[in-house]
Amino acid sequence: MIGTSAFLGIPHRRIATLLDAVAPEPGSSGRSAESEALEARFARAVLSTMIEPGDTDAGALMGALGPIEAARCVVDGVDAADLLARVGADPSSARQRSRLTGALERWRARGSAEAGARALEMAAHVHARLLAPEDAGWPQGLPSLGAGEPVALWVRGDPTRLERLDRSVSLVGARAATGYGEHVAMESAAGLGDRGFAVVSGGAYGIDGAAHRAAVASGHVTVAFLAGGVDRLYPAGHSDLLRRVGDTGLLIGELPCGSTPTRWRFLMRNRLIAAVSGATVVIEAGHRSGSLNTAGHAAEMGRPLGAVPGPVTSPASAGCHRLIREYAATCVTTVDEMAELADPIGAGRDAGYPEGADPDSPDGVVLSAVRAGRGGDPEDLAHTTGLASRHVVAALGRLELAGAVRLTGRGWEAAP
Amino acid sequence: MIGTSAFLGIPHRRIATLLDAVAPEPGSSGRSAESEALEARFARAVLSTMIEPGDTDAGALMGALGPIEAARCVVDGVDAADLLARVGADPSSARQRSRLTGALERWRARGSAEAGARALEMAAHVHARLLAPEDAGWPQGLPSLGAGEPVALWVRGDPTRLERLDRSVSLVGARAATGYGEHVAMESAAGLGDRGFAVVSGGAYGIDGAAHRAAVASGHVTVAFLAGGVDRLYPAGHSDLLRRVGDTGLLIGELPCGSTPTRWRFLMRNRLIAAVSGATVVIEAGHRSGSLNTAGHAAEMGRPLGAVPGPVTSPASAGCHRLIREYAATCVTTVDEMAELADPIGAGRDAGYPEGADPDSPDGVVLSAVRAGRGGDPEDLAHTTGLASRHVVAALGRLELAGAVRLTGRGWEAAP
pLDDT in tens, A160-200: 999 999 999 999 999 999 999 999 999 999 999 999 999 99
Confidence of residue A289 (pLDDT cuts 50, 70, 90): confident
| C-beta neighbour count of A11 within 10 angstroms | 14
Could you tell me if B210 and B186 are in contact, meaning their C-beta atoms sit under 8 angstroms apart? yes
Contact A318 B308 (CB under 8 A): no
Find, among B297, B266, B346, the residue nearest to B170 by Cα.
B297
Task: Output the pLDDT for position B28.
Answer: 59
The residues facing A131 across adjacent strands are: A153
CA contacts within 13 A on the Cβ side of A3:
5
The rounded distance, in Å, linking the Cα atoms of B116 and B239 is 25
Confidence of residue B121 (pLDDT cuts 50, 70, 90): very high
> Count of residues for chain A?
416
Burial A293-329 (b: 16+ CB within 10 A, else e): bbbbbbbebebbbbbbbbbbebbbbbbbbbbbbeeeb
- CA A362 vs. chain centroid, Å, equals 25
The rounded distance, in Å, linking the Cα atoms of A177 and A180 is 8
Task: Output the pLDDT for position A383.
Answer: 72
> Residues A314-352: pLDDT tens digits?
999 999 999 999 889 999 999 999 999 998 765 433 333
Task: Output the pLDDT for position A357.
Answer: 46
Q: What is the CATH number of domain A350-414?
A: 1.10.10.10
Distance from the first to the final alpha carbon of chain B: 62
Q: Which residue has the higher pLDDT, A288 or B251?
A: B251
Residue of A nearest to B319 (CA): A333
The rounded distance, in Å, linking the Cα atoms of B256 and B47 is 10
User: Within chain A, which residue ranges are assigned CATH 1.10.10.10?
Assistant: 350-414
Q: Which of A256-260, A411-415, B17-21, B386-390 has the lowest mean pLDDT?
A: B386-390
Contact B331 A331 (CB under 8 A): yes
Contact A321 B308 (CB under 8 A): no
Of the candidate CATH numbers 3.40.50.450, 3.30.1330.40, 3.40.50.720, 3.40.190.10, the domain formed by B153-342 belongs to: 3.40.50.450
The rounded distance, in Å, linking the Cα atoms of B55 and B57 is 6
Tell me the average pLDDT across B403-410: 75
CA angle B354, B360, B364 (to 5 degrees): 25
Helix spans in B277-388 (H): 291-300, 318-326, 335-342, 344-350, 362-371, 378-385
φ/ψ (deg, to 5) at B156: -110, 135
CA angle B247, B250, B253 (to 5 degrees): 130
- Mean pLDDT of all residues belonging to chain A: 89
Of the candidate CATH numbers 3.40.50.300, 3.40.50.450, 3.40.190.10, 2.60.40.10, the domain formed by A157-342 belongs to: 3.40.50.450
Question: Complex ipTM, two decimals?
Answer: 0.75
Question: Is residue A271 predicted with pLDDT exceeding 80?
Answer: yes
Task: Output the pLDDT for position B139.
Answer: 96
DSSP of A12-65: HHHHHHHHHTT-SSTTSSSTTS-HHHHHHHHHHHHHHHH--TT-HHHHHHHHHH
- Sign, CA dihedral B280-B141-B221-B251, equals negative
Chain A interface with B: residues with Cβ < 8 Å: 180, 183-184, 308-313, 317-318, 321, 324-325, 330-331, 333-334, 337
DSSP of A96-125: HHHHHHHHHHHHHHH--HHHHHHHHHHHHH
Residue in B184, B312, B330 closest to A308 by CB: B312
Residue of A nearest to B326 (CA): A331
Distances (CA, A) of A184 to A159, A179, A326: 29, 9, 23
Tell me the average pLDDT across B251-258: 97
- Sign, CA dihedral A306-A312-A316-A318, equals positive
Q: Which of A202-211, A302-311, B348-357, B370-379 has the lowest mean pLDDT?
A: B348-357
The rounded distance, in Å, linking the Cα atoms of A205 and A207 is 7
Task: Output the pLDDT for position B146.
Answer: 79
Return the percentage of chain B with pLDDT > 70, whole number. Answer: 92
Task: Output the pLDDT for position A393.
Answer: 73
Contact B321 A331 (CB under 8 A): yes
User: Within chain B, which residue ranges are assigned CATH 3.40.50.450?
Assistant: 153-342
Q: Which residue in A180, A282, A312, A326 has the most chain B C-beta atoms within 10 A of its own C-beta, making it the best mutation to test that interface?
A: A312
Contact A310 B311 (CB under 8 A): yes
Could you tell me if B405 and B375 are in contact, meaning their C-beta atoms sit under 8 angstroms apart? yes
Find, among B280, B309, B319, the residue nearest to B297 by Cα.
B280
> Count of residues for chain B?
416
Confidence of residue A262 (pLDDT cuts 50, 70, 90): very high
Q: What's A361's DSSP letter? A: S
Q: Which of A294-303, B155-164, B223-232 has the lowest mean pLDDT?
A: A294-303
Cis peptide, bond prior to residue B235, ω within 30 of zero: yes
The rounded distance, in Å, linking the Cα atoms of B96 and B60 is 13
Please give the CATH architecture assigned to the domain spanning B349-414. Orthogonal Bundle (1.10)
> Residues B62-74: pLDDT tens digits?
999 999 999 999 9
Find, among A30, A252, A74, A285, the residue nearest to A150 by Cα.
A252
Find, among B214, B197, B263, the residue nearest to B234 by Cα.
B263
The rounded distance, in Å, linking the Cα atoms of A213 and B249 is 54
Residue of A nearest to B178 (CA): A311
Contact A309 B313 (CB under 8 A): no
Contact A183 B308 (CB under 8 A): no
Contact B313 A180 (CB under 8 A): yes
Residue in B180, B184, B321 closest to A309 by CB: B321
Single-letter residue type at B268: M
The rounded distance, in Å, linking the Cα atoms of B326 and A385 is 39
Residue of B nearest to A337 (CA): B325
Chain B interface with A: residues with Cβ < 8 Å: 180, 183-184, 308-313, 317-318, 321, 324-325, 330-331, 333-334, 337
Task: Output the pLDDT for position B196.
Answer: 96
Could you tell me if B393 and B196 are in contact, meaning their C-beta atoms sit under 8 angstroms apart? yes
Tell me the average pLDDT across B325-332: 93
The H-or-E segment that residue B155 falls in is strand B153-156
Task: Output the pLDDT for position B353.
Answer: 38
Residue of B nearest to A323 (CA): B331
Q: Which residue has the higher pLDDT, B343 or A124?
A: A124
The H-or-E segment that residue A252 falls in is strand A250-253
Task: Output the pLDDT for position B372.
Answer: 75
Task: Output the pLDDT for position A413.
Answer: 83
Q: Which of A74-83, A242-251, A353-362, B331-340 has the lowest mean pLDDT?
A: A353-362
Q: Which residue has the higher pLDDT, A372 or B107?
A: B107
Say which residues have a Cβ less than 8 Å from residue A108's Cβ, sequence separation at least 6: A50, A74, A75, A77
The rounded distance, in Å, linking the Cα atoms of A237 and A57 is 36
Question: Is residue A237 predicted with pLDDT exceeding 90?
Answer: yes
User: Within chain A, which residue ranges are assigned CATH 3.40.50.450?
Assistant: 157-342
Contact A309 B318 (CB under 8 A): no
Contact B309 A325 (CB under 8 A): no
pTM of the model: 0.78
Nearest CA-CA distance, residue B339 and chain A, Å:
15
Greatest CA separation for chain B: 76
Task: Output the pLDDT for position B288.
Answer: 85
The H-or-E segment that residue A412 falls in is strand A411-414
Question: Is residue A227 predicted with pLDDT exceeding 70?
Answer: yes
Question: Is residue A308 predicted with pLDDT exceeding 90?
Answer: yes
Q: Which residue has the higher pLDDT, A83 or A404?
A: A83
Q: Which residue in A331, A335, A336 has the most chain B C-beta atoms within 10 A of its own C-beta, making it the best mutation to test that interface?
A: A331
| C-beta neighbour count of B146 within 10 angstroms | 11
Nearest CA-CA distance, residue B378 and chain A, Å:
28
The rounded distance, in Å, linking the Cα atoms of B125 and A293 is 64
Say which residues have a Cβ less than 8 Å from residue B179's Cβ, sequence separation at least 6: none
- Sign, CA dihedral A99-A105-A111-A114, equals positive
| C-beta neighbour count of B217 within 10 angstroms | 13
Could you tell me if A18 and A124 are in contact, meaning their C-beta atoms sit under 8 angstroms apart? yes
The H-or-E segment that residue A306 falls in is strand A305-307
Could you tell me if B313 and A180 are in contact, meaning their C-beta atoms sit under 8 angstroms apart? yes
Q: Which of A124-133, A141-150, B407-416 has the lowest mean pLDDT?
A: B407-416
Residue of B nearest to A183 (CA): B313
User: Within chain B, which residue ranges are assigned CATH 1.10.10?
Assistant: 349-414
Question: Is residue B85 predicted with pLDDT exceeding 70?
Answer: yes
The H-or-E segment that residue A292 falls in is helix A291-300
Task: Output the pLDDT for position A369.
Answer: 81
Confidence of residue A354 (pLDDT cuts 50, 70, 90): very low
The rounded distance, in Å, linking the Cα atoms of B279 and B267 is 18
Task: Output the pLDDT for position B408.
Answer: 73
SS3 content of chain A, % helix, strand, coil (to 5): 50, 10, 35
Residue of A nearest to B185 (CA): A312
> Residues B87-104: pLDDT tens digits?
888 888 899 899 899 999
Confidence of residue B1 (pLDDT cuts 50, 70, 90): very low
Could you tell me if A178 and A205 are in contact, meaning their C-beta atoms sit under 8 angstroms apart? no
Task: Output the pLDDT for position A355.
Answer: 43
Tell me the average pLDDT across B340-362: 57
Could you tell me if B385 and B366 are in contact, meaning their C-beta atoms sit under 8 angstroms apart? yes
The rounded distance, in Å, linking the Cα atoms of A327 and A315 is 18
Greatest CA separation for chain A: 76
Say which residues have a Cβ less than 8 Å from residue B99's Cβ, sequence separation at least 6: B57
DSSP-derived pairing of the beta strands B305-307 and B330-331: parallel
Task: Output the pLDDT for position B26.
Answer: 64
DSSP of A191-245: HHHHTTPEEEE---TTHHHHHHHHHHHTT--EEEEESS-TTS-SSGGGHHHHHHH
